[in-house]
A and B are shown apart, each in its own frame.
Chain A
């Protein structure tokens, strides 16, 4: 029994059906971790991107160093660090939040590069036109550069969304009951690993396909020339 659901071991199909609600609870945790992690990656990545392109070297270089460090160390190391080291300094977060934060932190290093590429892809001609019209640089960034950069970064961000989703099982090592962890517990208790793990694979396939389709749809409907301003 797990989460109040009994399993039925009489035959494989009955077993699969009986553990589906349990796996779906785990899947919901996986989705939550993905969403929170992706949100953190989007926000933190934008901050890193802005810092990295700061005119002052004293801001740009540390930002570059930090993102490079994040990118070149394993997610698991960062996760352990956050989970075991932070409490020593009095910062105690629930396992789920720690995990989602670690995911977001790792991926913010990647998304910051996507932002940077998207921002730099907005041509010099646009900056010159804005300058000739005397538009303030903050306004140029928010209303000329960003609306044109967004359609360009959507596909790459979509790929990272799927990657984050597939990395969520790493959080099982810090006791987060995401889908894979739940399946493993079922296996440990019933000695049947084949069915729960296969189901996890299938459910993952459905999740990633849905996410990819969503991103493609968004990509198709975003105007290539930028978010329209009337």
Chain B
């Protein structure tokens, strides 16, 4: 096996007295599609938020692409990362949020082109072309000039995906991308994510409650419980024949 693109080494995360991640060890290989499932409060989303640098860690090391994310080398070994280091590291990652987090005052196209122009230094024309291509990819080519509130939830989330992709990340994080959607809109978003999983060598990390979908697209499924990975394996193994009693209980509860 090659070096993992994501590596959590005994990572601890606390919110006050609550330990959300308890010396978590976790690795993801380049190009791998990993689904994270588990009860709420098990630390699933926290893993993504730490990777996206939205949440600091209280212990351990997180490495992305072989480099520490929250630390950088200093005169006395590793020291907390500077904003410049975080900016550099963040360029490898993209995130799709549960609540979409689109910029409500920006047109759909502007939502997508804002960061490529400002951060990557693309010209407006280049960014526009990239944006239109991505809108095509998510099936919203005709909605470029609309504003988020004029779109359905499913369409908004597809814009969210296009926006994240516009930064050309090598790792894409999905934080419960369909949890805020009406049931009839879930399918269109999953279709887009599924297509991405099939056609791109993106590394994908997906926190989800859509078990059937997780089973279809994942190379590996991790069951989180109490801040640790309780069990992981191929979708077949984990869904059909889990080893752990806790996994079985959880799957029984969500699949019924």
Q: Please give the residue numbers on chain A whose beta carbons come within 8 Å of chain B beta carbons, in ascending order.
A: 125-126, 128-129, 131-136, 139, 143-144, 147-148, 223, 225-230
Residues in B whose Cβ lies below 8 Å from that of A128: 52, 54, 97, 101
A229 to chain B, nearest CB (A): 5
> How many pairs of residues, A versus B, come closer than 8 Å at their CB atoms?
74
A222 to chain B, nearest CB (A): 10
B203 to chain A, nearest CB (A): 16
Residues in A whose Cβ lies below 8 Å from that of B54: 128, 131-132
Residue of A nearest to B173 (CB): A132
Q: Given A131-B53, A139-B118, A229–B106 Cβ distance below 8 Å?
A: yes
B46 to chain A, nearest CB (A): 13
Contact assessment for B101 and A225 in the assembled complex, using a CB-CB cutoff below 8 Å:
no
A174 to chain B, nearest CB (A): 43
Q: Which of A129, A134, A227, A230 contacts B102 (CB 8 A)?
A: A129
Of the candidates B106, B109, B145, B167, the one having the most CB atoms from chain A within 10 angstroms of its own CB is: B106
Contact assessment for B101 and A230 in the assembled complex, using a CB-CB cutoff below 8 Å:
no
Which chain B residues (71-102) contact chain A, with CB distance < 8 Å?
87, 90-91, 93-95, 97, 99, 101-102
Of the candidates B54, B107, B145, B167, the one having the most CB atoms from chain A within 10 angstroms of its own CB is: B54
Interface residues on B, range: 20 to 34
Q: Does B105 contact A (CB under 8 A)?
A: yes
Contact assessment for B87 and A134 in the assembled complex, using a CB-CB cutoff below 8 Å:
yes
B119 to chain A, nearest CB (A): 5
Contact assessment for A126 and B94 in the assembled complex, using a CB-CB cutoff below 8 Å:
no
Q: Does B137 contact A (CB under 8 A)?
A: no
Q: Given A132-B54, A133-B163, A125–B103 Cβ distance below 8 Å?
A: no
Q: Which of A134, A136, A139, A147 contacts B105 (CB 8 A)?
A: A147
Q: Given A134-B90, A134-B91, A129–B118 Cβ distance below 8 Å?
A: no
Of the candidates A133, A147, A148, A225, the one having the most CB atoms from chain B within 10 angstroms of its own CB is: A133
A53 to chain B, nearest CB (A): 18
Which 3 A-B pairs have CB atoms at the shortest separation, nearest pair first? A226-B105, A225-B104, A133-B115
Cα(A223)–Cα(B105), bound, Å:
8
Contact assessment for B104 and A135 in the assembled complex, using a CB-CB cutoff below 8 Å:
no
Contact assessment for B107 and A230 in the assembled complex, using a CB-CB cutoff below 8 Å:
yes
Residue of B nearest to A230 (CB): B107
Residues in B whose Cβ lies below 8 Å from that of A229: 103, 105-107, 110, 114
Q: Mark B13-39, 1 if CB is under 8 A from A, else 0.
A: 000000000000000000000000000
Q: Does B248 contact A (CB under 8 A)?
A: no
